[in-house]
Amino acid sequence: MAVRLGSDSSDDLVENSEINITPFIDVILVLLIIFMVAAPLSTVDVAVELPTSAAPQQPRPEKPIFVSVKSDLALALGEEIVARPALGPALDALAKGNKDERIFLRADKGVPYGELMQVMNLLRAAGYLKVGLVGLEDVSGGTQP
């Protein structure tokens, strides 16, 4: 058994030039998991351009009921402006309480989709489930690219 009692200058610590790869692999695996979770979330926002309808025009009812959402988000029942809370009772008066009456919903191009859905929810809450969306007829007869 040998013991070294003196100190000489040759006992300096030798630098280790090897890379400890274990923490590097741990960091890479954590980043991989983060990207695997985040990748599907980034594909939800998809731009959609809705085409015009080329369906044949349906016969109009004798006295249709139109609910319109104007560009300033005001509601109109026929030609009269109606407050959102008063839409249900106004429809009941116009449809004579017939909940099976088809309601034609039309909206300005600039109306956000969420606002249109809120109006449809108001119609549903009032008991009117037959809702037709009104749009412009595609006069070209073809489909858009």
CATH number of the domain at 96, please: 3.30.420.270
Question: Does residue 112 form part of some domain?
Answer: yes
Domain with 121, as residue range(s), is 65-133
Residues 6+ apart with CB under 8 A from 78: 65, 66, 94
Question: Does residue 117 form part of some domain?
Answer: yes
- What pLDDT score does 33 carry? 93
131 three-state secondary structure: strand
Segment holding 133, helix H or strand E: strand 131-133
* Sheet with 103-107, side-by-side order of all strands: 80-82, 75-77, 65-69, 103-107, 131-133
pLDDT band at 145 (very low <50, low <70, confident <90, very high): very low
- Mean pLDDT value across residues 91-119: 87
Using CA atoms, how far apart are residues 63 and 109, in angstroms rounded to an integer?
A: 25
- Mean pLDDT value across residues 19-47: 80
If you write DSSP's letter for every residue of 42-108 in order, what string do you get? TT------PPPB-SPPPPPPSS-EEEEE-TTS-EEETTEEE-GGGHHHHHHHHHTT-TTS-EEEEE-
Using CA atoms, how far apart are residues 141 and 143, in angstroms rounded to an integer?
A: 7
Q: Name the DSSP class of 132.
A: E
Question: Does residue 3 form part of some domain?
Answer: no
What is the per-residue pLDDT across 130-143, written as a single tens digit (0 to 9) for each? 888 877 766 565 54
Using CA atoms, how far apart are residues 100 and 127, in angstroms rounded to an integer?
A: 9
Question: Does residue 111 form part of some domain?
Answer: yes
Beta strand 103-107 pairing with 65-69:
parallel
Question: Does residue 93 form part of some domain?
Answer: yes
Structural domains counted in the chain: 1
What is the per-residue pLDDT across 65-88, written as a single tens digit (0 to 9) for each? 888 888 888 888 888 888 989 888
